[in-house]
Structure 1
Amino acid sequence: MQQHWCLDATAEAAWRRWDGECVVHHALSNDTHRLSELAGELLERLHREAVPWTSCALADACDADVEDIDATLHGLAEIGLVLRC
């Protein structure tokens, strides 16, 4: 069974993307993180289309490997930006 992912609204994250990089400020922890281009794209897609996404659907939408999507989502979950929903 596929897991579904969404943004963690309690994080109150603010991010900026440019030149293949992403910087995000996690207001809840007051931490700032420098993320990969893929992580930035996932955050933007989860924000723009606020519905739960499966890893496979995100991989298709981002033209990326499911394994890369899963690893990136788990990393984003560890820092409190996304969650399983």
Structure 2
Amino acid sequence: MTMPMRISFLLAREDNARLYDELAQFPKGQRRVNRLRTLAYDGLLTQQGAAVPVVAGTDRLPTTACIPGVSAERTEAALELFSDPIAE
């Protein structure tokens, strides 16, 4: 069995307003951690192409979510989480 990974970070609204607002909806603790875990997993799927296929025969993205229950807003928020870091 692999050892669990412990991650601690600070997130200011100025860093990523959309992610901050999404996580601020939940009281600190397990619910917030679970929401971040879900967003991170959705972002990973999207980044790897599993959640964003192109329409067959074109280079266009589909107009509907390809994973049931994953909205375009969630996908976009997850992609922001995995975007390039803000330059200091």
- Per the normalisation by structure 2, the TM-score is 0.31
- Per the normalisation by structure 1, the TM-score is 0.32
Determine which structure has more spread, i.e. the larger CA radius of gyration. 2
Q: Which of structures 1 and 2 has the larger relative contact order (alpha carbons within 8 angstroms, sep 6+)?
A: 1
Q: More strand by proportion, 1 or 2?
A: 1
